[in-house]
Amino acid sequence: MGKATQVSSSTWDTEVAKAAGLTLVDFWAVWCGPCQMVAPIVEELATEYDGKLKVMKLNTDENPDIAGKYGIMSIPTLLFFRGGQPVDKVVGAVPKKVLKDTIDKLLSPTA
């Protein structure tokens, strides 16, 4: 499979808050240039880490309540959750290697 799935306020609890394992949520908006730059990288990561990492996308314009709850002030923000709790975050359009390094660190047995 390996495709990033849209998440919204109505599906947040099921998809993220109650999700087992590591979940990456890409907070983005249609008008955000850097978000458009990072989107293909997020899709690649969804494929590469299929079965190890759940990848979700949340449109901050359509779901301002969730963005506000987690203090998202700049987008893109990539927030990592484990057991429904935020465990790490990357802000801005960063190279794929930065995201891979973060994911690998969070997936390592010592994380």
Size of the chain in residues: 111
Strand 53-59 versus strand 5-7 pairing type: parallel
What one-letter code names the amino acid at 26?
Answer: D
| Residue 71 φ/ψ, nearest 5 degrees | 65, 35
Query: Which of the following is catalytic: 35, 72, 90, 103?
Result: 35
32 as an active site residue: the answer is: yes
Query: Which of the following is catalytic: 32, 45, 56, 75?
Result: 32
CA distance 15 to 50: 15
Q: Is the CB of residue 33 less than 8 Å from the CB of residue 76?
A: no
105 as an active site residue: the answer is: no
Mind telling me the catalytic residues? 32, 35
